[in-house]
Amino acid sequence: MAATGFEGFEKRLELKFTGESVDGLRQLDMQAIEDILDAAQCTIVSGIGNRQFDAYVLSESSLFIYPKKIIIKTCGTTQLLKAIPVLLAHTPKLGLNVSSCRYTRGSFIFPKAQPYPHRNFEEEVSYLNQNLPSNLTEIKTNVLCTKTSHSWHVYSAADPNVPQATSLYTIEMCMTGLDRELARKFYRQHDAGSGDMAGKEMTVVTGIAGIHPGAIVCDHAFDPCGYSMNSINDRRYSTIHVTPEDGHSYASFECTGEEEDSCSCKLMKELGRVVEVFRPMTLSVAVTGTSRSQVWKQVQAAIETAGLEQQNCKRGDFPAAGTVVFQAFHGQY
């Protein structure tokens, strides 16, 4: 907890691996997973899974474990990057080798509250370079800045001998200045029961249940306020995290999809529902995909249709991530 408020903006780490094992990272036992998360200073709250991957709601955001990919997303003053050496101590026993790393985050609301190694982006880059294996020689960093206070920090590292092509896109949305009436729905009622029960109620009451109807959902409400949700559908996921306090309210939405299957109408409806749930005054979104991807244009259209005005747009190319298009919007409510 920061001295001036809770830091909603997440740090996101994605590591990909190669190896012969079919189950790969899903062979990690619960003790190993807890050790990895303990290094980052967070814990598991609840979890779900399917044939493709496992998804966990954390005390600070989310964890997704695929056979050859792991995504850890944490907020607050967690020390996410310290999970790397602990994780990499386990992977050789699973027959896995790191093939790429992507680390991203927005601009912190309370940057001075962040501990080592997250006090600034230069420190994060230095820590990553020191703790990732030497085969990841194709390294690029960039800070995509906009006219607003939001910036997008990207670190990308890859093994040049391993193909990094993928048809998956990722949308990472950060929202601040949430509508106060809507934000109040993310405060627990006194008789709401357990965190899981209260989370299920919030999912329905806030309209989040309508974003991805039919998906398997794992949700949790924190005390006295705050909310986290993971939903899974085949190998795709979406996740929402909310810090509703006045003065530093924040919500994030992240989802993945297949570029070849992306439907403009469906994506616009989903993102439109997200904006309706929170009605933020400022919104920034990073869309990561192939250089040919036009998903970012669909995202722009959806957000503008929902009532926000684009302020700026920046683009960057990264060896392990592909092309990142970062856009900033302002509410016109």
- Residues 260-274 have a mean pLDDT of 79
Q: Report the pLDDT value the prediction gives residue 196, as an integer from 0 to 100.
A: 87
Query: Tokens representing 171?
Result: 């949308």
Mean pLDDT in residue range 229-249: 93
For 101-116, letters b (16+ CB in 10 Å) and e give bbbbbbbbbbeebbee
Closest CA to 280 of 255, 248, 254: 248
CA dihedral 221, 71, 294, 153 (to 10 degrees): 90
The per-residue pLDDT for 50 is 95
User: How far is residue 95 from each of residues 18, 88, 98, 100, 210, measured CA to CA in Å?
Assistant: 8, 11, 10, 16, 41
Which pTM was predicted?
0.94
For the stretch 53-105, pLDDT in tens is: 999 999 989 999 999 999 999 998 999 999 999 999 999 999 999 999 999 99
If pLDDT is split at 50, 70 and 90, which confidence band does 31 have?
A: very high
Superfamily of domain 11-331: S-adenosylmethionine decarboxylase (3.60.90.10)
Q: Which of 118, 150, 212, 241 is catalytic?
A: 241
Is 245 annotated in some ligand binding site?
A: yes
Q: What percent of the chain has pLDDT over 70?
A: 95
Marked catalytic residue, from 42, 61, 231, 238 = 61
Q: Is the pLDDT of residue 156 over 50?
A: yes
Residue 291, pLDDT score: 78
Q: Give pLDDT, residue 148.
A: 63
Strand residues in 259-298 grouped as ranges (E): 282-289
Q: Are 124 and 78 in contact (CB under 8 A)?
A: no
Query: Is residue 264 very low, low, confident or very high in pLDDT (cuts 50, 70, 90)?
Result: low
What is the rounded CA–CA span in Å between residue 143 and residue 151? Answer: 7
Q: Where are the alpha helices (DSSP H) in 1-47?
A: 30-40
* Residue 222 in marked binding region: yes
Q: Which of 100, 156, 228, 238 is catalytic?
A: 228
Q: What CA–CA distance (Å, rounded) separates 161 from 137?
A: 10
Q: What's the confidence (pLDDT) of residue 99? A: 96
The pLDDT value given to residue 1:
40
Mean pLDDT rounded to a whole number for the chain: 91
Tell how strand 322-331 and strand 308-318 pair up: antiparallel
- Close Cβ partners of 85 (under 8 Å, ≥ 6 residues apart): 39, 131
**What per-residue confidence (pLDDT) applies to 176?**
93
The whole-number pLDDT of residue 2 equals 42
Per the annotation, the verdict on 293 as an active-site residue is no
For residues 195-220, average pLDDT: 92
How far, in Å, CA of 263 to CA of 260, rounded? 9
Give residue-wise pLDDT tens across range 295-319.
999 999 999 999 999 999 999 998 7
Domain ranges of the chain: 11-331
The pLDDT of residue 192: 67
State the chain's maximal CA–CA distance in angstroms: 56
pLDDT score recorded for residue 189? 81
Q: Is the predicted pLDDT of residue 289 greater than 70, yes or no?
A: yes
- Asked if 241 is an active-site residue, the reply is yes
Is 248 catalytic? The answer is no
46 is catalytic: no
Q: Is 60 marked as a binding-site residue?
A: yes
